[in-house]
Amino acid sequence: MSTLSSQQLIDSAKSFGTPLYVYHAEKIGAQYDRLKNAFAGADVRFFYAAKALTNINILRYVRSTGCSIDCSSINEVKLALLAGFEPTQILYTSNNILFEEIMEAKEIGVHINIDSLSNLRKFGNAFAGTYPVGVRLRPNIMAGGNLKISTGHAESKFGVPLEDMEELLQVQKETGLHIRTLHIHTGSEIKDVEVFAKGVEVLLDVVNYFPTVEVIDLGGGFKVPYMPGEEGTDIEKLGTVLKQEFNSFEEKTGRHLQVWFEPGKFLVSEAGTFIVRVSVLKKAGDTWFAGVDSGLNHLIRPMFYGSYHHIENISNPDGPTRIYHVVGNICETDNFAENRPLPEIREGDLLAFQNAGAYCFEMSSYYNSRFRPAEILFENGEPRLIRKRDQLEDLLQNQVIGR
Ligand code: LLP
């Protein structure tokens, strides 16, 4: 649930208008502290998966906590540099990209995880062992909140399949490639600690083929609670389990490995709230529709993944409970919630969507030529605008208008 008060959210809507994304910096900091504490004593590094939310002010705040950053495109790498990250704090985990983009990342000097034999071979041919890289493996583990966000299973496009191990070793041998990192990212919203432990097992099973590997990168994917009462990944248990696994590996083999993680949702999901205003209340048959000043153009997760976002009626929290479909204003079905019990909704009420920090604004679009929302950040109790609401000029910005 939001760590900001309803009054703070209501005041923000008054000052900045709706629809509005509101973030809470200290919540991001608290999540990072939780991770650090859970892994205290271990040789571990955390790289914020920037794809979840790339506003430069968020990136700067993340940097100020001491966390490093994981990027999924060369543009995210450039944003990370603009936010003040050093190349050594930047990891670029690519998939299916042109080799030119890998070259560009190398020029900048960031850590690079490569996810295909084709690009690994090109890299090895070009640079042999002069620039250490990571290899993304496909561990063939099915896990994650839904199929779209499951990335490590045996039919997934991501990574070098374990079945291709021989060919990978061949590339290593033939080109002299210096493989420093073995990487997996199994999926998003993985609750079970056992899934992460299984991933570690898979990697530790093959690491002896790679004498130059110093880092095991386990990607992101920690689950956070979305529904009231729901539990997320038990990070503290995960810390204990993984520390044991890596310590016993070190005792057995005499080999020390550093562990990396790339959390996105864990750091920013709960730090975000999306505020919308109810524009139209409509009764059709037995169904009450609460139509709001937003839609799948601003928050697509419910429609795209069937994701649950908890909604609060912050204008009428003590109203009698009624059942609503909360719907958007886009020209196709964009239901945020169906048959959702909520305190009585009136036209003009403000609704607050929880868990709006990760993959929400970030996946927004200009569909129906509507403006994308403004974003604000609370830090030290003070809200500040970190993205202006779009205007008509923004819709036209890159269009060649001509005559
Ligand atoms: N590392 C890699 C290589 C990834 O592909 C991802 C997410 C992460 C780390 C961070 O995963 P997280 O900790 O946030 O679960 N748009 C979807 C989520 C897609 C995740 C894509 N990759 C959603 O809204 O649920």
Position 143 in a domain: yes
For residue 135, give Cα distances in angstroms to 22, 177, 182, 208, 224. Answer: 37, 11, 5, 14, 27
Check whether residue 230 and residue 115 sit in a common domain.
yes
Tokens of 55: 């506003």
CATH code for position 89: 3.20.20.10
Which of 58, 137, 262, 304 best tests ligand 1's pocket when mutated (most atoms within 8 Å of CB)? 262
Which residue's alpha carbon is nearest to atom 19 within ligand 1?
149
Reading the chain (403 residues) residue by residue, the pLDDT tens digits are 689 999 999 999 999 999 999 999 999 999 999 999 999 999 999 999 999 999 999 999 999 999 999 999 999 999 999 999 999 999 999 899 999 999 999 999 999 999 999 999 999 999 999 999 999 999 888 888 888 888 888 888 889 999 999 999 999 999 999 999 999 998 889 999 999 999 999 999 999 999 999 999 999 999 999 999 999 999 999 999 999 999 999 999 999 999 999 999 999 999 999 999 999 999 999 999 999 999 999 999 999 999 999 999 999 999 999 999 999 999 999 999 999 999 999 999 999 999 999 999 999 999 999 999 999 999 999 999 999 999 999 999 999 998 8
In total, how many domains does the chain have? 2
Ligand 1 atom at shortest distance from the alpha carbon of 307: 25
Decide which of 237, 263, 289 is a domain's last residue: 263
Which of 188, 222, 238, 270 best tests ligand 1's pocket when mutated (most atoms within 8 Å of CB)? 188
Decide which of 221, 238, 263 is a domain's last residue: 263
Check whether residue 168 and residue 274 sit in a common domain.
no
Check whether residue 127 and residue 186 sit in a common domain.
yes
CA distance 61 to 67: 9
Check whether residue 96 and residue 230 sit in a common domain.
yes
Ligand 1, residues at Cβ distance < 6 Å:
49, 52, 70, 93, 149, 185, 188, 219-222, 262-266, 301, 305, 358-359
Quote the ligand 1 centre to 272 CA distance (angstroms): 16
DSSP structure string for 125-141: HHHTTSS-EEEEEE---
CATH code for position 312: 2.40.37.10
Which residue's alpha carbon is nearest to atom 23 within ligand 1?
359
Any catalytic annotation for residue 331?
yes
CB 46 within 8 A of CB 66: no
Quote the ligand 1 centre to 187 CA distance (angstroms): 7
Which of 51, 148, 266 best tests ligand 1's pocket when mutated (most atoms within 8 Å of CB)? 51
Position 295 in a domain: yes
Decide which of 263, 279, 312 is a domain's last residue: 263
C-beta atoms surrounding 246 within 10 Å:
20
The pTM of the full predicted model, rounded to 2 decimals, is: 0.97
> In terms of residue numbers, what domain contains 338?
270-396
